[in-house]
């Protein structure tokens, strides 16, 4: 009599990646087959002397079975003769046979004989686990789920077996794949019915990876010193752009910027950091601390936590102050006072204040820096390296950046007008923005509701020019379309786009062209929040990620300030009003940097 049967566990090993129940649990790039299999063996801390005597086909199947059964299978529930093994492939043991033939090609009369049948794989698994039920190995042209289902079902329905491992183990030269399924009569959590269709789905769709959620946000910009103040400025449509007040520069009263309205002295009082530390570090700590406090993660110290932070200017503000006096009189300073002003020192100082010691790294890829930091943090969680990541970036205004962008002749002497036909350039800004990314496991422990999930991301580089975007927006187009592909969404699913929108003729034309290619003829509401915050360079992706997350949480669309005239070459125009009570499920946030380094993030409602 037929009984219900379930796939209670699955393991796939392919393309230098190990998947357990649809989730990536190990990944190792750039290695040959044998090195990869050894790295899997060591990563999972398996201790079995026979492993080193196996050929690669046996190692592949045996490793897949070890990972398949780990934590999910209790042998004490079954007698040894009740557990069977039914495997298959297309090339039998051809890989080992070819290697043997090559090794004896020049020997006149080889006396060595090797016994290389594929059922050695099932034998090794049975020896390891003391399985004594039926085991068999079949050769098909391709994975034959229908046959496997019939064969295994017959064994279980007739009570020849109570549990069975079945699937595919194929290896030939550099191509390999193992896909094993544990089939039992008892339904367990997350189990699926044992059918050919479900096996095929699991066999083909191995790329499902764990979700990464946003649990906390923190931000400081010219429009506000925290999330609440920034939101209030948006609703009042008050920009943070104005005259230069913090820097002693010849461009005062000439070039508007978006300064955070706090002096270094006030920031030192807020953060408790030393008074001689860089402004970038001060801004970073304010926003990162707000994000971590907002997340309120129980037992954070017991979790694997990382800090992935971006900036492009480091401690340049302190370096500038030092060298003014030092050049005039080299007895007035010591070079040791500026040795740690590089970008990475900001990350290290903030991580130390946050108590994060498990992992820290710095991303510096121009204006896409902190967007890249966010999706790099997500990958660390998806690949089971970390449980929690504080990710984003910070940037302080300095004479170095102001003079550099002025030399490029892309600064507007008036307040910027992104995506306007008469735009003339950008206004530089400063600030910091961070999101707290958490794994599915951590998400289940939180008391406060999650904001959303990071559903898609991509970084593409068109390498068109050192600073200019390609006229047809190739990098922008690739970043947006591939982020959509990763998220599983269609262009019509996007409810709001936070444009990169710097206000320069080149950027807005290139980005607009790419948006048209992706979304034509149906365009979601879109705007550039740089009309409020200025262009915060390496911090912009983090700041605008926070704004994108808040758009989902509060159902809002931000206005594109000072927009007057639609660009001639584009069929769409940005939103000019602050919209509330909108249904915002999916938001795309664009961050496009020098050198064609283009990144798109997609945040989605849970």
What's the length of the chain?
Answer: 606
Q: Name the pTM for this structure.
A: 0.70
> Which residues, 6+ apart, have CB-to-CB distance to 153 below 8 Å?
2, 5, 194
pLDDT for the residue numbered 116? 46
CA distance 510 to 291: 33
Task: Please pick, among 341, 416, 452, 535, the residue that the annotation labels catalytic.
Answer: 535
Q: Is 500 a catalytic residue?
A: yes
Please give the angle made by the CA atoms of 238, 243 and 247, to the nearest 5 degrees: 125
Are 155 and 174 members of one domain? yes
- Residue 216 or residue 97, greater confidence: 216
Are 223 and 166 members of one domain? no
Are 447 and 429 members of one domain? yes
| Residue 385 main-chain phi, psi, to 5 deg | -85, -40
Are 220 and 195 members of one domain? no
Q: Is 452 a catalytic residue?
A: no
Are 78 and 54 members of one domain? yes
CA distance 236 to 224: 12
pLDDT band at residue 321 using 50, 70 and 90 as cut-offs: confident
Task: Please pick, among 126, 367, 452, 598, the residue that the annotation labels catalytic.
Answer: 367
Look at residue 191 and tell me if it is in a domain. yes
Look at residue 165 and tell me if it is in a domain. yes
Domain of residue 27, CATH code: 3.40.47.10
Does position 579 have pLDDT exceeding 90, yes or no?
Answer: yes
Look at residue 350 and tell me if it is in a domain. yes
Max CA-CA distance within the chain?
A: 95
> Which residues, 6+ apart, have CB-to-CB distance to 191 below 8 Å?
6, 7, 8, 184
Are 219 and 131 members of one domain? no
Look at residue 277 and tell me if it is in a domain. yes
Look at residue 545 and tell me if it is in a domain. yes
pLDDT band at residue 90 using 50, 70 and 90 as cut-offs: confident
CA distance 242 to 256: 5
Does position 284 have pLDDT exceeding 50, yes or no?
Answer: yes
Are 119 and 234 members of one domain? no
Report the domain count for the chain: 2
CA distance 526 to 518: 14
pLDDT for the residue numbered 22? 80
Are 132 and 223 members of one domain? no
pLDDT for the residue numbered 209? 67
Look at residue 535 and tell me if it is in a domain. yes
pLDDT band at residue 112 using 50, 70 and 90 as cut-offs: very low
Are 41 and 187 members of one domain? yes
In this structure, are residues 435 and 288 in contact, taking their beta carbons and an 8 Å threshold? Answer: no
Does position 580 have pLDDT exceeding 70, yes or no?
Answer: yes
| Minimum mean pLDDT range among 65-74, 147-156, 329-338 | 329-338
Q: Is 367 a catalytic residue?
A: yes
Are 560 and 449 members of one domain? yes
The last residue of one of the domains, among 176, 204, 232, is: 204
Nearest to 213 by CA among 23, 22, 436: 436
Residue reference for tokens 């079945």: 166
> Which residues, 6+ apart, have CB-to-CB distance to 156 below 8 Å?
3, 5, 162, 163, 164, 183, 185
The last residue of one of the domains, among 204, 226, 246, is: 204
In this structure, are residues 338 and 392 in contact, taking their beta carbons and an 8 Å threshold? Answer: no
Q: Give the mean model confidence (pLDDT) for residues 31-40.
A: 90
pLDDT for the residue numbered 192? 87
Q: Give the mean model confidence (pLDDT) for residues 272-276.
A: 92
> Which residues, 6+ apart, have CB-to-CB distance to 78 below 8 Å?
162, 163
In this structure, are residues 60 and 79 in contact, taking their beta carbons and an 8 Å threshold? Answer: no
Task: Please pick, among 58, 230, 341, 500, the residue that the annotation labels catalytic.
Answer: 500
pLDDT for the residue numbered 108? 55
| Minimum mean pLDDT range among 30-44, 58-72, 112-126, 146-160 | 112-126
pLDDT tens-digit profile of 171-214?
888 889 999 999 999 888 878 899 988 898 888 754 456 899 99
The H-or-E segment that residue 589 falls in is: strand 586-592
> Which residues, 6+ apart, have CB-to-CB distance to 119 below 8 Å?
135, 136, 137
The last residue of one of the domains, among 154, 181, 204, is: 204
The H-or-E segment that residue 88 falls in is: strand 83-89
Nearest to 508 by CA among 601, 412, 426, 415: 426
Does position 148 have pLDDT exceeding 60, yes or no?
Answer: yes
Look at residue 1 and tell me if it is in a domain. no
Are 221 and 196 members of one domain? no
Domain that holds residue 66: 6-204
pLDDT band at residue 493 using 50, 70 and 90 as cut-offs: very high
Are 192 and 271 members of one domain? no
pLDDT for the residue numbered 354? 97
In this structure, are residues 429 and 535 in contact, taking their beta carbons and an 8 Å threshold? Answer: yes
Q: Give the mean model confidence (pLDDT) for residues 61-66.
A: 94
Q: Is 425 left (phi over 0), alpha (psi -120 to 50) or beta?
A: left
Q: Give the mean model confidence (pLDDT) for residues 502-528.
A: 95
């Amino acid at each position: 009599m037929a009984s219900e049967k379930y796939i209670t566990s699955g393991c796939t090993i392919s393309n230098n990646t190990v998947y357990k129940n649809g989730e990536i649990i190990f990944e190792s790039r750039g290695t040959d087959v044998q090195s990869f299999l050894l790295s899997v063996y060591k990563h999972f801390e398996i201790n079995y002397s026979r492993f080193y005597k196996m050929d690669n086909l046996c190692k592949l199947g045996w490793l897949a079975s070890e990972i398949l059964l780990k934590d999910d299978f209790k042998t004490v529930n079954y007698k040894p003769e009740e557990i069977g093994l039914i495997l298959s492939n297309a090339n039998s043991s051809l890989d080992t046979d070819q290697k043997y033939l090559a090794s004896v090609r020049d020997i006149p009369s080889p006396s060595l004989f090797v016994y290389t049948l594929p059922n050695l794989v099932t034998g090794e698994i049975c020896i390891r686990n003391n399985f004594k039920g039926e085991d068999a190995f079949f050769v098909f042209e391709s994975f034959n789920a229908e046959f496997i289902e019939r064969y295994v079902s017959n064994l279980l329905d007739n009570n020849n077996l109570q549990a069975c491992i079945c699937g595919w183990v194929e290896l030939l030269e550099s191509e390999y794949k193992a896909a094993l399924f544990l089939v039992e009569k008892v339904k367990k959590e997350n189990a699926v019915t044992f059918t050919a269709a479900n096996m095929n789905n699991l066999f083909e769709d191995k790329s499902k990876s764990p979700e990464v959620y946003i649990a906390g946000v923190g931000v400081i910009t010219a429009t506000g010193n925290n999330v609440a103040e920034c939101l209030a400025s948006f609703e009042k449509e008050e920009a943070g752009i104005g005259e230069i007040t913090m820097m002693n520069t010849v461009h005062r009263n000439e070039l508007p910027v978006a300064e955070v309205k706090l002096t270094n002295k006030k920031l030192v009082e807020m953060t408790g950091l030393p008074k001689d530390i860089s402004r970038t570090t001060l801004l970073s700590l304010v926003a990162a601390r707000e994000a971590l406090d907002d997340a309120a993660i129980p037992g954070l110290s017991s979790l694997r936590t990382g800090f992935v932070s971006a900036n492009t200017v480091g401690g340049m503000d302190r370096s500038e102050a030092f060298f003014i006096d030092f050049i005039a009189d080299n007895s007035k300073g010591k070079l040791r006072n500026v040795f740690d002003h590089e970008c990475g020192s900001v990350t290290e100082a903030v991580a130390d204040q946050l108590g994060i010691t498990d992992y820290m790294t710095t991303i510096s890829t121009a204006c896409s820096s902190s967007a890249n930091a966010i999706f790099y943090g997500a990958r660390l969680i998806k690949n089971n390296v970390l449980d929690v990541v504080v990710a984003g970036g910070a940037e302080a205004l300095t004479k170095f950046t102001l003079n550099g962008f002025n030399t490029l002749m892309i600064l507007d002497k008036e307040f910027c007008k992104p995506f306007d036909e008469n735009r003339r350039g950008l206004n530089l800004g400063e600030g910091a923005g961070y999101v707290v990314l958490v794994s599915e496991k951590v998400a289940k422990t939180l008391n406060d509701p999650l904001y959303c999930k990071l559903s898609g991301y991509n970084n593409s580089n068109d390498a068109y020019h050192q600073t200019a975007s390609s006229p047809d927006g190739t990098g922008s187009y690739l970043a947006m379309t591939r982020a959509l592909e990763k998220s599983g969404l269609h262009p019509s699913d996007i409810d709001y786009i936070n444009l990169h929108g710097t206000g320069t003729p080149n950027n807005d034309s290139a980005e607009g062209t790419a948006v048209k290619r992706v979304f034509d003829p149906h365009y979601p509401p879109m705007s550039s929040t740089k009309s409020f915050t200025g262009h915060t360079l390496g911090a912009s992706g983090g700041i605008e990620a926070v704004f994108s997350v808040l758009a989902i949480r509060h159902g809002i669309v931000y206005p594109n300030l000072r927009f007057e005239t639609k660009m001639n070459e584009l069929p769409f125009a940005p939103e000019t009003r602050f919209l509330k009570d909108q249904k915002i499920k999916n938001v795309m946030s664009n961050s496009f940097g020098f050198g064609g380094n283009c990144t798109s993030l997609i945040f989605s409602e849970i």
